[in-house]
């Protein structure tokens, strides 16, 4: 199974959607947002999410995986 990354998609008007995406989906979204308009389907951890590319104002990608509890560092 592909490793999932946390990302937040921000839209005009202030709405933010938090999703978990495979790296391939995340790259596809970024490429589509830079070049296209219209609807784009994303395969997320929770199912398919359709987003309007023309309304995206930011894409925040988590810097590192979150851990629970104590780390070995």
Q: For 6-57, write each residue's pLDDT tens digit.
A: 999 999 999 999 999 999 999 999 999 999 889 999 999 889 999 999 999 9
Domain boundaries, the chain: 4-61
pLDDT given at position 45: 87
Which class is 4-61 in CATH? Answer: mainly beta
d(CA 46, CA 20): 8
pLDDT given at position 14: 96
Q: Residue 6: which residues within 8 A CB-CB, separation 6 or more?
A: 18, 19, 20, 61, 62, 66
| pLDDT of 73 strictly over 70 | no
For residues 3-42, one letter each, b for 16 or more C-beta atoms within 10 angstroms of the residue's C-beta and e for the rest, the string is ebbbbebeeeeeeeeebebbeebbebbeebbeeeeeebeb
Total-model pTM: 0.79
pLDDT given at position 72: 56
């Amino acid at each position: 199974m592909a490793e999932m990354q946390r990302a937040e998609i921000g839209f005009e008007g202030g709405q933010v959607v938090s999703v978990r995406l495979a790296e391939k989906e995340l790259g596809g979204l970024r490429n589509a947002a830079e070049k296209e308009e219209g609807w784009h389907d994303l395969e997320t951890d929770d199912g398919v999410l359709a987003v309007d590319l023309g309304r995206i104002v930011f894409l925040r990608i988590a810097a590192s995986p979150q851990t629970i509890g104590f780390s070995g560092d």
